[in-house]
């Protein structure tokens, strides 16, 4: 079984996260690849993939839900 990513590894991929977000991600027991894929979607890199992109599912979708930008936050700026 592969080692789980550390909190530091999650933050290096996803950026500045709250401790609760990191703990929620760790509870999913994800691979680093799943974290990287969710982070790419959250940052908008999936838009560059065009038709080649695939929908998120399972653990990757759950990670995305944890880290996705809050649209309401943008409205307050």
Helix/strand/coil percent split, the chain, to 5: 65, 0, 35
Nearest to 66 by CA among 33, 2, 31, 19: 19
Buried b (16+ CB within 10 A) or exposed e, 46-62: beeeeeeeeebeebbeb
Average pLDDT over residues 66-73: 74
Decide if pLDDT at 39 tops 80.
Answer: yes
Give the integer Cα–Cα distance in Å for 58 and 41: 14
Q: pTM higher than 0.85, yes or no? A: no
């Amino acid at each position: 079984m592969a080692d789980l990513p550390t909190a530091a590894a999650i933050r290096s991929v996803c950026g500045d996260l709250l401790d609760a977000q990191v703990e929620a991600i760790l509870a999913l027991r994800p691979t680093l690849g799943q974290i990287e894929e969710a982070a790419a979607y959250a940052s908008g890199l999936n838009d560059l993939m065009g038709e080649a992109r695939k929908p998120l599912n399972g653990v990757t979708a759950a990670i995305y839900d944890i880290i996705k930008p809050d649209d309401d936050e943008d409205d307050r700026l």
